[in-house]
Structure 1
Amino acid sequence: MSGLLPKVELHLHLEGAAPPGFIRGLAAEKKVDIARIFDERGNYAYDDFWHFLKVYEAATEPLKTPEDYHRLTLAVLEESAAAGVIYSETFLSPDFCGGRDLSAWREFLHAIREAADLAERRDGIVLRGIVTPIRHLGPEKAKEVALCAAETAGDWVVGFGLAGDEKSGKPKDFSWAFDAAREAGLRLTAHAGEWGGPESVRDALRDLRVERIGHGVRAIEDLALVDELAERGIVLEVCPGSNIALGLYQDWRSHPIHELRERGVKVTVSTDDPPFFHTTMAREYDRLATAFDWDEGVFDEIAKTSAKAAFCDEKTRENILKKLEKAHA
């Protein structure tokens, strides 16, 4: 069932979606030694979330040029399309793409967009970008990222977020960057409620005034917060396979996505960094169907919730919704 259903993904890190074989091949071309980040089977290897962050950043070492990102984008979108994704939003960071230099960022962005356009023609998948500072690099660098985002905001760069180590600083430290992005017309999301607990969700909502929360699952530990999320229509970008792979929850049955949905919270499903967590959007659907007896109607509802919460323009949204309607007609 899962492979046939059209899917909408709102929480995908571009570098984190790089197939390990792609990164190994690129590293060999450039004579960059990153063998330490792979296991004996050639998969990414890490011990916990904080080690995962280091491995993630090491995996970006071979990604040096706009052409590298062009190739990366094509590889990632080919995998997503094969899993049934028709629309995706990906986190992009000028920290990795040109060191927060605006002219370099424009070149990287142009290469990524060219690849996205090619993938759309080839596979029918639509991609949009959410510019994201790396939280543990600090608020001053986030300001530079926000300026890059503001200068390139438009029909393709549609959002601004915050990723990285949730235990590094407080959301309010990044309020200047989010204010700048908001003034540029960008829609806002932030990672919270993964490692920082329910209070981190409250902080992101209050101090950054976001309309979506990346992960957000630990809100379940505070039912008053769950009620608030439901009442305000805050959308959670839930990545169950990621949460389970990193040890946040023991197994699929214990993941709170089902209870959050039952309590009226708008939940969506994404893969986060799929090859790191041995998942795809099709696998997420399969495991959720098994764990919670979700049927095609539930997944249709989740895909439509995702499409309505997407940061794209209305014409693009209408096209996505038409594809979803057609698939379930």
Structure 2
Amino acid sequence: MEQVLAPSRPSDTPSDTSGTASSTRRDVRLLPKAHLHLHFTGSMRPATLLELAEKHGVRLPEALSSGEPPRLRATDERGWFRFQRLYDAARSVLRDEDDIRRLVREAAEDERADGSGWLEIQVDPTSYAPRLGGLIPALELVLDAVDEASRESGVGIRVLVAANRMKHPLDARTLARLAVRFADRGVVGFGLSNDERRGLARDFDRAFRIATEAGLLAAPHGGELAGPESVRSCLDDLGARRVGHGVRAAESPVLMRRLAEEQITCEVCPASNVALGVYEQQEDVPLRRLFDAGVPLALGADDPLLFGSRLAAQYELARDSHGFTDEELAELARQSVRASRAPEPARVSLLSGIDAWLAQPA
């Protein structure tokens, strides 16, 4: 049975995810939830990045060494290139087994502090393979670290293997076969990341067919930097049951109706949407429009290292910038659990915890 522990009560010291919560509102860090959109390198703590860079003698760009989230805007190719360059620089400090285990252990600790009882973390093992002995050893190490961190933290953790749409579709097929090979070791899904304006989703249809025919979840990125058509392509060409981001679906009432009817979850990441310039300000993110249209949503932090906020902060944004009540926040948490690949005992535990959170006086 998957053990999912109740969220730990925060200390008296405010955390960076506490937002503006007051005594009249329930603490979102105590709301049980699932986290379905978190990238491997992007989950790293800023302090860990600096310590690993010193350990390996890596000189980081100034934007990563200042201790503050970098200023990003990726709505044009130059901006996306800068974002990718910073991400690659951060990834370069992960060089040995201890680094990988530390990252996963700390990610699990941060999830637990934010009330997450279930995490599905996304990793492209090709990014780490050259330093870790190849694709298979790299993924084996990640999965072993995940198992260890899950047992120690009480947070259920699984892995989505993600292909890079900037690379050749043949590379994606290799990763799909690798994901299938490790389906009994903790891989639950197959994704497709990077700039959806480059590398059409349909070019990766065979890779996704390999994954889905073996029972893995299809969860490609779409509908962030590109519009509703990229979401449709994820559905029609890749058989997506979850869409990474998907916020641009709000531009099409017909598409929103389809997502609602087919119960396809959008993994919405409010902080990163604004940080990357998809929307000018938080109030512009169509979270309320999607929710009211009945589209299932799972809030995600995307890359906290670069965007400066973790999971609980996304719930604070839903509350403070989009007017979500505690009842609606609880429903967002339920939707995240329902969209997860958590086993039934873990789902029941988390859903019961959500009801208990809501039953507490505000």
Residues 100 and 148 in structure 1, CA contact (< 8 A), matched pair in contact too:
no
Percent identical: 34
Q: 2:55 aligned to 14, 29, 33, which one?
A: 29
In the TM superposition, residue 45 of structure 1 has moved relative to its aligned partner by 5.4
Residues 95 and 134 in structure 1, CA contact (< 8 A), matched pair in contact too:
no
- Give the number of the structure with larger relative contact order, counting CA–CA contacts within 8 Å between residues 6 or more apart: 2
Whole-angstrom distance in 1 between the partners of 2:278 and 2:354: 32
CA RMSD, Structure 1 to Structure 2 (Å)? 2.1
Is 1:9 the counterpart of 2:35? The answer is: yes
Number of residue pairs the alignment of both structures matches: 328
Distance change >3 Å, CA 196–CA 80, structure 1 → 2: same
Q: 2:184 aligned to 154, 162, 176, which one?
A: 154
Whole-angstrom distance in 1 between the partners of 2:205 and 2:140: 28
Q: Which amino acid aligns with 1:189?
A: A
Q: 1:254 aligned to 273, 279, 284, which one?
A: 284
Q: 1:198 aligned to 219, 223, 228, which one?
A: 228
Q: 2:324 aligned to 294, 297, 303, which one?
A: 294
Q: Which amino acid aligns with 1:28?
A: E
Is 1:52 the counterpart of 2:78? The answer is: no
Residues 275 and 307 in structure 2, CA contact (< 8 A), matched pair in contact too:
yes
In the TM superposition, residue 155 of structure 1 has moved relative to its aligned partner by 5.4
For structure 1, which segment, 306-315 or 67-76, has the greater mean C-alpha deviation from structure 2 after superposition?
A: 306-315
In the TM superposition, residue 111 of structure 1 has moved relative to its aligned partner by 3.2
Task: Give the SS at the match of 2:166.
Answer: helix
For structure 1, which segment, 290-299 or 87-96, has the greater mean C-alpha deviation from structure 2 after superposition?
A: 290-299
Q: Which amino acid aligns with 2:83?
A: F
Unaligned runs of 5+ in 2: 1-26
Q: 1:63 aligned to 70, 85, 94, which one?
A: 94
Task: Give the SS at the match of 1:136.
Answer: coil
Q: Which amino acid aligns with 2:112?
A: A
In the alignment, which residue of structure 1 is the partner of 2:15?
none
Distance change >3 Å, CA 60–CA 100, structure 1 → 2: closer
Residues 338 and 347 in structure 2, CA contact (< 8 A), matched pair in contact too:
yes
How is 1:147-296 mapped onto 2 (pairs within 5 angstroms)?
147-154=177-184, 156-296=186-326
Distance change >3 Å, CA 47–CA 241, structure 1 → 2: closer
Q: Which amino acid aligns with 2:268?
A: V
Q: Which amino acid aligns with 1:195?
A: L
Whole-angstrom distance in 2 between the partners of 1:39 and 1:216: 31
Distance change >3 Å, CA 314–CA 255, structure 1 → 2: same
For structure 1, which segment, 135-144 or 207-216, has the greater mean C-alpha deviation from structure 2 after superposition?
A: 135-144
In the alignment, which residue of structure 1 is the partner of 2:164?
134
Q: Which amino acid aligns with 1:11?
A: H
Q: Deviations over 1:32-61 (max 9, x none)?
A: 222344253454454535111221122111
In the TM superposition, residue 104 of structure 1 has moved relative to its aligned partner by 3.6
In the TM superposition, residue 28 of structure 1 has moved relative to its aligned partner by 1.4
Whole-angstrom distance in 1 between the partners of 2:73 and 2:47: 20
Unaligned runs of 5+ in 1: none
